[in-house]
Chains A and B, each alone.
Chain A
């Protein structure tokens, strides 16, 4: 960090002199020398973003200090920080499910006034190029059901490091045993359990399964394509219907046919297992995929095929990841907006993507240079068409329900709890939570 700061300082000095020599300030001149404190998660996309930050400083003279935390810790930190009268952070990255909490507590700046401001808003920003599903899912709040797109929604954040799910599989193994690329869930599950039989020592599919958020994530990943939802339109839990049971069964099958120790996998362990060649498939966020093409970390470089999230009764890959937003209690809001705009501009998005980040723009996915460096970019662009913004509800009570699904699912996986019974329990507790929070007031 010290090094970054030092180079940044040098760059600032250079910038101010050139700016003054040029005679006009430009949009950034007023903010040159400001130091922004930003809160980013420890995540491949943000590692890539940090690599391009010196470029931002060089161009604008605005310095950036990054506080990088694991994403669940980051959320805890923000809960506290955003509640203060004056906060430390000028720009925060938030996990998509935090959107509800922060907007509901009135802790994020509405972005309209910044995009309206001619001094700040870059005319070549081209918001139409931003991937619409991501913007709706991550940035907009207040529409249908409060978290989905709709006429009453407005923009509080911009997707940055947003993700959908794709399936990574070992081309070589699949070819060797004549298994076809899984198109549907039936094929997926069949392949998952066939591999340990034909390829001893190798697990079928590596999946998250660890107790808590991870197990819940893994379950919801299958719930949407198999036709399920957590709530119906009246906020009644329907997680325990046939589709829910099928999704839980799918998860259990995958974990049972999975690699050694699969029950305690978090995303890192699951991705490592695939990268070490201990599992033949891995279905999770696109954020992990560039790592499989990195010879320092992966033993399967060049052997991996990428496919869309298989279809159940419908296609529905997850939408998740992060957005960036300006806290209400920030000190340098305008400069923070400039950074936000720069990072998500066509140029910024491409630079981050070239370092291994996840694009938020259609144009980036079509970029020839990127497709050459990361051959899977095209598949990802395709998968985005089916990204499902409603695969999990982003409401203020979600944290609690999510934790409950997670521990219950983990019990199903490890203690053999009956699935129907387990999901009935979840539904019952979820209904009580929803009732407490006032979701049935109008019924």
Chain B
């Protein structure tokens, strides 16, 4: 019916649109960025007009205390956020992994925060954190407690709380799904052996969930590096540089300081960091898959 030739071409025809779009709108821009990062380039020039300066942008950044601080803020933000969300999310999942009325309502309402625009999330929290008008300080005041300068003295913490609010549900839902797909037989066996609830969690549930949890954590970690709008709306990176994460600094360098070359070099640093994380994720996943398979086999053999 078809010639062999047409058959060979079919997959390419299916792939072609995606390949073309990703090539011109993702890969080419990334290459363009690397090229631009070696130039002293401002927004009113085309890249051809910009002067080639070699590695200067990278070196300047490396010794730039503001960049280092911003990198520090990014790493702190990402790690605190991921750890806190994992602990709370998995904790809640373990606690609520029961067949109770209202679970589906909870799950539906729980996804709301992450579906809403980051811009709007930033807006809501900026209002709630407002020093005088905001919900938190009003509540504190009516309880007779001293007010807190949320977005001033404790800006990074406040930003982290907002992110935890938005993204803990993500981890909760994935952890819950993982829990509910655990092999019942293993849990039954443990219960028959007289394991307490705590022992079940530590020795059976968590190890079996591990592969999913690690992937979830890494996905969240990579996403945490993408956060920008929430912080932009809440603090615009301030006070000082205390909440200026790298994504925000890239955007400010490009638009406010008008240094596209430096911004490109900064983007490259960020990309390298993420590349390392992604490769790490791959390695860990493969390792875990192998281990989980072994574990599952063992459990199967035991029963």
* Direct contact between A and B judged by beta carbons closer than 8 A: yes
A interface with B by C-beta (< 8 Å)? 72, 76, 79-80, 82-83, 105, 107, 209-212, 259-264, 273, 276, 278, 399-400, 403-404, 407, 410-411, 413-415
Given A76-B255, A399-B258, A414-B153, decide whether A260 and B238 contact each other with a Cβ distance below 8 A.
Answer: no
B255 touches A263 (CB 8 A): no
A278-B131 Cα distance, complex, nearest whole Å: 11
A414-B130 Cα distance, complex, nearest whole Å: 17
B151 touches A261 (CB 8 A): yes
By beta carbon, the residue of chain A nearest B40 is: A436
B153 touches A211 (CB 8 A): no
Q: List 11 A-B contacts (CB under 8 A).
A: A211-B238, A259-B132, A261-B131, A261-B152, A263-B239, A264-B131, A264-B235, A264-B239, A403-B252, A407-B240, A415-B240
In the complex, whether B257 has a CB less than 8 A from a CB of chain A is yes
In the complex, whether B147 has a CB less than 8 A from a CB of chain A is yes
Instruction: Return the CB mask of B113-138 against A: 1 if under 8 Å, else 0.
Output: 00000000000000000111000010
In the complex, whether B44 has a CB less than 8 A from a CB of chain A is yes
Residues of B within 8 A of A262 (CB): 152
Given A105-B44, A260-B132, decide whether A211 and B149 contact each other with a Cβ distance below 8 A.
Answer: no
Residues of B within 8 A of A80 (CB): 43-44
Would you call the interface of chain A mostly helix, strand, loop, or mixed? helix
A399 touches B257 (CB 8 A): yes
In the complex, whether B66 has a CB less than 8 A from a CB of chain A is yes
Residues of A within 8 A of B230 (CB): none
Given A210-B236, A260-B147, A399-B256, decide whether A414 and B242 contact each other with a Cβ distance below 8 A.
Answer: yes
* Interface size of B in residues (CB-CB distance below 8 Å): 30
Residues of A within 8 A of B235 (CB): 211, 264
Residues of A within 8 A of B132 (CB): 259-261, 273, 276, 278
A79-B66 Cα distance, complex, nearest whole Å: 24
A260 touches B239 (CB 8 A): no
In the complex, whether B94 has a CB less than 8 A from a CB of chain A is no
Q: Please report which residues of chain B, range 33-51, place their CB below 8 angstroms from some CB of chain A when the two chains form the complex.
A: 43-45
Instruction: Return the CB mask of B231-243 against A: 1 if under 8 Å, else 0.
Output: 0000111111110
CB contact between A264 and one of B43, B66, B152, B255 (< 8 Å): that residue: B152
By beta carbon, the residue of chain A nearest B147 is: A260
In the complex, whether B155 has a CB less than 8 A from a CB of chain A is yes
Output the least CB separation between A165 and chain B (Å): 22
Residues of A within 8 A of B151 (CB): 261, 264
**Beyond A261-B152, A407-B240, 8 extra complex contacts between A and B, CB < 8 Å:** A210-B236, A212-B236, A261-B131, A261-B150, A263-B149, A399-B256, A399-B258, A411-B240
By beta carbon, the residue of chain A nearest B44 is: A83
B239 touches A414 (CB 8 A): yes
A403 touches B256 (CB 8 A): yes
B240 touches A260 (CB 8 A): no
Given A261-B149, A263-B153, A264-B155, decide whether A79 and B44 contact each other with a Cβ distance below 8 A.
Answer: yes
Given A76-B255, A79-B258, decide whether A410 and B238 contact each other with a Cβ distance below 8 A.
Answer: yes
Output the least CB separation between A377 and chain B (Å): 31
Residues of B within 8 A of A404 (CB): 66
By beta carbon, the residue of chain A nearest B42 is: A79
A83 touches B256 (CB 8 A): no
B240 touches A414 (CB 8 A): yes
Residues of A within 8 A of B150 (CB): 261
By beta carbon, the residue of chain A nearest B242 is: A414
